[in-house]
Structure formats: C-alpha cells, structure tokens
Structure 1
C-alpha cells in the first residue's frame, strides 16, 4: 500500500479568452467506470457545447491515464488537462473541460495554454486530501495510566480514534505502518509494560493534504 493525493469532492472553475468560454469540472473517481459516467454527465449538461474534453488518472500508482480531445486538434486539449493533473500529483480524479467557441480561433498553442490554465484553475479550486495507509493500534490499560498516556499522545501529535471505556480503558491510535514498532515500544515503556496492545492490518484513510 502506498500513499497518494486525490480530491475529496467535486469542483468547478470558469475562464474566458478571445470570446471562447471554458468551464472546468473535477470529480473523484476510483474506477474507469466512474470516470466515464462523470464525463457523460458533463456532456449531457453541456450538450450544446462544441467540445467537452477530458482526462483522468486512476490507481494509487497513477498507472491508468487517459485523455480525450473531443474534436479539438490532436494534443491541444486532453493532454494539457492530463498534464495539469499530473503536475498537481493527483490520482483517482477525472477532469472535464467544456468549451463554447467564441468565433475567434486560438491556434494550437493558444488552445494548449487555455486548456492547461482552466484545468489548473479547476484543480486549485477543489479540496485535496492525502490517502495514506494507517494501522489502528489499540492499547488496553488501567484508568490510572490514562492521563499520562493522553498527555503523551498530545505531545507526540498522534492521531487518536475515540477511546473505549469498560473495566479498563482502550486507547486507540491511527499510526502509519512504518511508525508502528516505534509507537508500540514507546507505549510499553511509558506504561512499564502494563498495557495490552493490538495492531490491525493497514487500511487507507483520508487526511487533509499539506500545501
């Protein structure tokens, strides 16, 4: 499992140059089917537009990539959109750019710049998240040690899930796989080995993306 960056919701942006109007639409997409459905939905929304160009990148390793010029000269629309996605380091995302032709030709270079710019505007207007593999670490301990452990969690800046309060308290931490052994050792030392620790297999979790 590897970490990757994606978007957390849909986004939009608009741009006008030489009377041509461009509209960018972004959406999360985990599969090619989801990406195709989003493209189809935008084409239906803008059925009267001359072009609805698109690109998507899928997979934690960004291995699935596709672009479509939708009638624009080859390489002037879909590929600039795709490059904008890649430059932002995003995956599991689809971007559609709708163009209403304003009667003035932009030329190949102008089209590339316009589609790249509007795609970038759309991406920058969309909230991003980091998807990271995280292990749930549960530490069962006596209530007498809870204050000490909670202070340690805050001082270390660790992410915690809601604790479970029964005969003993079970503190739950969300730990990246490479940090599991270090955190386990620290907990054992902190409690003088008076805690029972279990660690679940890693699962993907979304966290706010760093700028």
Structure 2
C-alpha cells in the first residue's frame, strides 16, 4: 500500500478474523470478517468459503479497502437485488468507532443456510445488516496510523534500554535493526514538524546528545 497516495492519516481495522452466527426464523446467518488489503485477497476468502460451505444457498459479501476507503464492493449472491450486499456494506461503512476513525480493510461474508421461511425484502435487509453488525460487536479492532519513521544509532548495550524508555513515554517502537557495529533504533511518530521536534528533544536528553535522529520513510503502523 503506497502511503503517499492517501490523504488519510488513520483508520481502524480488524485485529484478527472473526466468525459470528445468528439464527433468524430458522435461517442460519454465519458472518465471517477478515482483514484484507486487496480485492484479490478478498475474493480468495470468498472463494474458499464457497468451497467450505458448498451446501449453503448464499454467500453474500461486502468489503471496504484502503485508508481513504476508495474501494467498496458488495454482492447479493442470488438474494433479491439490494437486500444483502448493500446492507452489509452499509453496516461496515457506517460503523461508529469511539475515536472517530473509520473502518477499512475489512471483508464481510455472510453464509446463509435457508430455514424454509421467507423473510421478505425488508426482513432480508435487516437480517444481513444485523449479521454484520453483530459480528463487528464481537470483533477485536485496532487503529492504524500513518507515521514517519525516525531512526538513530545506539550501542548494542544501550539499544534495549532506549527502546523501553521510549515505549514507556508513549512512542511507537518498530523493530530495531541490529548491525555489527551498532543498533539502529526505529521510532514512529505522527508525520508533523511538532512531533519531530519533540522526539528530537527527547532523544537528545535520553542519549545525552549522542543520538542523531534521522527521518526515514512513512508507513502504516498497527497501534495495538
């Protein structure tokens, strides 16, 4: 994912996949939620569920991709038009997140086993919407934020201590690169001049002026 193509700075996604089942008028609605970043990955999950639930009547789906949520797709898979995929997509798109961010990089697939009682168009809309919303209630979510990675060199003996102290101060620590002569500590901060100045001051104090901070690339970081 190219961070330079996105105006968004944060969004929420799944921490892990989730499965949740509802029974409505004897029909079973089994919702699968997956974290995906491409349409190809979403379609692979849908195809796999068609195989594992080959005896189900419908495998309806909806997904939203990208920090700016530019890719949004839905599929009724044989249900009356507009009664499954669109309500599922609405449940994803309109999900309220406590911190005000939006939900993205999420695929929802609802596998329906027909129970013999017709729900009608309105009943189907409510059922598919509730199936996704109920699954999201059970899902673990976390924030992803676009961050500027900054680095500084430290001795092997000091690197772990610097990591711990920076982490305790609330900084996002990415994996340290260990080289023969030094360790390169990586710190993620919001991509603003103010955050960079604050980190520079903190590093100078922490290392008694020995740490020289360098700005590296921007990347999306999972804040878990």
TM-score range, shorter chain: 0.7 to 0.9
Structure 2 Cα separation of the partners of residues 20 and 35 of structure 1: 25
Deviation, structure 1 residue 191: 5.8
Taking a change above 3 Å as real, the CA distance of residues 14 and 63 of structure 1, as seen in their structure-2 partners, is same
Gap change, CA 1:94 and 1:169, over 3 Å in 2: closer
Match of 1:130 among 130, 133, 143: 143
> Separation in 1 of the partners of 2:163 and 2:108?
43
Count how many residue pairs are aligned between Structure 1 and Structure 2. 208
What root-mean-square deviation, in Å, do the aligned CA atoms of Structure 1 and Structure 2 show?
A: 2.9
Shift of 1:172: 3.9
Length-normalised TM-score, structure 1: 0.83
Shift of 1:22: 0.7
For residues 93-112 of structure 1, what are the alpha-carbon distances to aligned partners after superposition, in whole Å with 9 as ceiling and x for unaligned? 21110111111111211111
Cα distance 1:76–1:142, how it changes in 2: closer, same or farther (>3 A)?
A: closer
Q: Residues 181-200 of structure 1 correspond to what in structure 2 (within 5 A)?
A: 181-188=197-204, 193-200=209-216
Say which one has the larger Rg: 1
Map 1:114-193; keep pairs closer than 5 Å.
114-140=127-153, 153=166, 156-161=169-174, 171-178=185-192, 179-188=195-204, 193=209
Question: Contact 1:141 / 1:196 at 8 angstroms: preserved in 2?
Answer: no
Over residues 111-157 of structure 1, what are the superposed CA-to-partner deviations in whole Å (9 max), with x where a residue is unaligned? 111111111122233322222222332334689x99x9779636632
Please list every run of 5 or more consecutive structure 2 residues that lacks an aligned counterpart in the other structure: 4-8, 96-101
Q: Which runs of 5+ in 1 are unaligned?
A: none
Instruction: Give how far 1:8 is off.
Output: 3.0
Normalised by the length of structure 2, the TM-score is 0.78
Is 1:31 the counterpart of 2:44? The answer is no
